[in-house]
Amino acid sequence: MAVSGVEEAVTCAHDPLEALSSDVILAHLRRLLMVEPGRASSRGLKLHVALGIHPRAIPPDHGRVLEELPGLLKNPSVVAVGEIGLDSGSEIEKRVFVEQLQMADELGFPVIVHTPRTGKPEVTPRIVDLIGENIDEDRAVVEHVNMDVLPDLIETECILGLTVQPEKLTPSEAVDILREYGTERFVLNSDMSSAPSDPLSVPRTVHRMRMEGFGRREIRRVSRENIKDILKI
């Protein structure tokens, strides 16, 4: 990534292991803080961290993670609470999402919010409602948006994440969205994870934008400035 011109990145909590207990999730969060920034920095990449309980990784004793989270969020690498959100949209997901939205609001953190792969048109409006009830919309990055949900999301104040990843958006689909909706409210990301991912997907999309005549300012906005503004980095 650094070779391709990426200078800084944000890594989020996700679901790398089955959430059998809070110990699994806490070990994941501690690794994000203690290991990953140094690993990235040794390769020339400044790494920021978002911490939270991902909706697909809610352990039965999640209360213990929620208790320890405020202490972990004090680490200087932390820039946001995330990924949090809904996946299936179950009651337990909603409770854990709301608790984390309120925690972020109280502690002054922005949130990075997951939307599901299946059921996106049904679940996303519930996610947006819960954001609006618990934190200022302009403190939320709503991730993995696509054409199915954009007409509604563009009416909100949320920042919208275009995930350029083999099973989500191609660079060309992301560019189509930016042409239709403008660059003001969007951020590009690769969502590098255990799902098939491309570490060069943001540089590829930037390259495609350049080829299709987007200006320097528009490109910087979606690849750098919008996310730096909301995360205050």
Rank residues 80 and 209 by Cβ distance to Zn ion and give the closer one.
80
Chain positions 13 to 42 lying near Zn ion, rule: CB under 5 A, are: none
Closest to 88 measured CA to CA, from 53, 62, 114: 114
Question: Which region among 3-11, 83-91, 125-133, 224-232 touches Zn ion (by CB under 5 A)?
Answer: 83-91
And the tokens for 99?
């608790």
**86 within 8 A of 48, measured Cβ to Cβ:** no
Minimum separation from the CB atom of position 135 to Zn ion (A): 18
**41 within 8 A of 47, measured Cβ to Cβ:** yes
Question: Which region among 3-11, 68-76, 82-90, 173-181 touches Zn ion (by CB under 5 A)?
Answer: 82-90
Minimum separation from the CB atom of position 121 to Zn ion (A): 16
Minimum separation from the CB atom of position 185 to Zn ion (A): 19
Q: Please count the residues of this chain forming the interface with Zn ion, following the rule CB under 5 A.
A: 2
H/E stretch holding 186 reads strand 186-189
Rank residues 83 and 93 by Cβ distance to Zn ion and give the closer one.
83
C-alpha separations of 212 from 5, 17, 161, 172, 219 in Å: 20, 40, 20, 10, 11
Minimum separation from the CB atom of position 10 to Zn ion (A): 13
Rounded CA gap, 45 and 75, in Å?
Answer: 18
And the tokens for 88?
């299936």
Q: Which of 48, 62, 114, 185 binds Zn ion (CB under 5 A)?
A: 114
Residues forming the site for Zn ion (CB under 5 A):
83, 114
